[in-house]
A = this chain, B = another copy of it.
Amino acid sequence: MPIYNAPAKDIQFVLHDLLKVSEQDIAGYEDLDRDFTSAVIEEAGKIASDVLAPLNQVGDTEGCVLENGVVRTPTGFKAAFDQVREGGWTAMDCDPDYGGQGLPYIMSMAALEPSVSANMAFNMYQGLTHGAYSAIHVHGSDEQKQKYLPKMVTCEWTGTMNLTEPHCGTDLGLMRTKAVPNGDGTYKISGQKIFISAGDHDMADNIIHLVLAKIPGGPDGIKGVSLFIVPKIKINEDGSLGDRNGVSVGKIEEKMGIHGNSTCVMNYDEAEGVLLGEEHKGMRAMFVMMNEARLGVGLQGYAQAEAAYQNAVFYANDRLQGRAVTGAENPDGPADPLIVHPDIRRILMDQKSFVEGARAFTMWGANLIDRSHKNGDAEADGLVSLMTPVIKGFLTDKGFEYAVAAQQVYGGHGYIEEWGMSQFARDARIAMIYEGANGVQALDLVGRKLAQDGGKHVMAFFEMIKTFIKENDGNEALKADFLEPLKAASKDLQAAGMYFMQNGMKNPNNALSGSYDFMHMMGHVCLGLMWARMGKAAMKALDAGASDKAFYETKIATGRYYMARQLPATAMHLARINTGADTVMALDADQF
């Protein structure tokens, strides 16, 4: 069985050495001192290692089963979900008015990582519920909030997002699901939704479906889409559960991975629902869920890479094969461990330097969300809105890539299901697709976010890098290994932005043909910035005589690797972008 241990020290490093959370002027952050966050992460790590990780392969092997209209989750999932619920893990950043603990979002994200690493499919039941909670919390009436939120905070009732239909995913304007008003404030919802994660299961008393549908007579396309709350079981006036609603599971999809999560075809047959938010403003309400979900999916990307990495390291130390080219390192054994080989090191360093950079990037994003929500900081809001597609797209692409790389360390055993490495890759694969396929993230970044508010957020980002480099100009320890590569990468990114401005006007395809490369480029620059800051923070800790010297030295060496070996990718992306649309769009459709 694969191993998993929560990287508590690394998470603490991001919260305290890098972000210095307890010194930030955000409500609730004053409580996030080292001891408190350490205790929370330790507990989160325990439940992840002891309860969730052992169920990961069980979930993959058994999958979810639809029997007589009821979905049965894998052995042990229900008991584990009870434990998660009872531990209060579903309520961390929820509103205390509805039973939540009111902790900052960053704390819930930091505590979430271990459970996503340990069992991504399991964690989704809670993750989807949190998204639905947020949408109701922001857009619901007081009555709706009173009715649904307390039970959703505890996951006694779980939630879902219903967007996709068989013929439309990205282009939701084409949707056919209808919501016919009953005249009493309720609607009859009819239609079919597909790919509904956690669509049905046996771990909660009720399931609150948030369903996008069109009210007949409304505007065409995406402007006529509204969002509805459709409970699986109707709720009586006194809050008790009533009759079954017209919601049923058509089937459970057979997927490449995340078998432990029930991905359902949901049939709505005159199901009773109520409007959430305003008529025809469903996309706005849904986007509350989607932005949060996208940050969470980015976390899935690196969290799966982290779990895969830990196992790759274990195997690389355990498996004896070949001899170090520079002389035997285990002369008394029949061979040296794999980890002596430079190409195995390359894989492990790629993974390690990515995961640690990605964690910092995601936590910084969560920090910006807290700053935006709690302090009403428009700049933080603009910045995180710019970063969201990068966090989602770049971190899930790379997360999958490094889960695949971990298989490679195992050689043939990486392909055998028993060892668990295939599952990390298969599970991680979905994160590149759902919550907006990564190509859509790239389109969002280049087609919308770059120019948002007159391009002010991307300018602020460049300014932030420039300032950091300038401020640390005299820091010789940082200069060659961190500041110079960051400067070069940032220059590449700016040149790409310039290319888009100069050529995208003439023909928008010149920009869109480079959107994916730009997303990756920006991901590298963001991780480069994170590493430069982490390098500085680690050096500072060493200068201050930190007791755990090896930890900080490792951090610096890992950062150096990222800057030397990963950041040069920006030049390649720029070269591709600079060729514009000509070769990309050269063929007619029938020439393929």
Contacts and interface: CB of A to CB of B under 8 A. Distances in A.
Interface of A: 164, 167-171, 173-174, 194-195, 253-257, 313, 316-317, 320-322, 325-326, 334-335, 337, 339, 341-349, 352, 400, 404, 407-408, 411-412, 414-418, 422, 425-426, 429-430, 432-434, 437-439, 442-443, 447, 507-509, 512-513, 515-516, 550, 553-554, 557-558, 560-561, 564-565, 568-569, 571-572, 575-576, 579, 581-587, 589, 591-592
A342 B581 contact: yes
Contacts of A417: 254-256
A262 B38 CA distance: 49
A488 to B, nearest CB: 10
Most B C-beta atoms less than 10 A away, residue of A343, A414, A557, A561: A343
Nearest to A434: B412
Contacts of A576: 564-565, 568
Contacts of A194: 412
A583 B346 CA distance: 9
A408 B257 CA distance: 15
A342 B437 contact: no
A375 to B, nearest CB: 36
A561 B335 CA distance: 46
B513 A342 contact: yes
Given A346-B513, A565-B579, A416 B254 contact: yes
B415 A433 contact: yes
Given A343-B512, A434-B412, A560-B586, A321 B170 contact: yes
Contacts of A343: 439, 442-443, 512-513, 515-516
A565 B589 contact: no
22 contacts: A170-B321, A171-B320, A174-B335, A194-B412, A256-B425, A325-B447, A339-B589, A342-B515, A343-B439, A343-B442, A343-B516, A344-B439, A349-B587, A408-B437, A411-B437, A554-B591, A557-B587, A560-B586, A561-B584, A564-B576, A565-B579, A565-B584
A15 to B, nearest CB: 21
B589 A317 contact: yes
Contacts of A317: 589, 592
Given A512-B341, A568-B572, A429 B415 contact: yes
Most B C-beta atoms less than 10 A away, residue of A429, A430, A572, A592: A592
Contact of A169 (B255, B346, B412, B583): B412
A341 B164 CA distance: 20
Given A554-B587, A579-B565, A592 B339 contact: yes
A462 B285 CA distance: 60
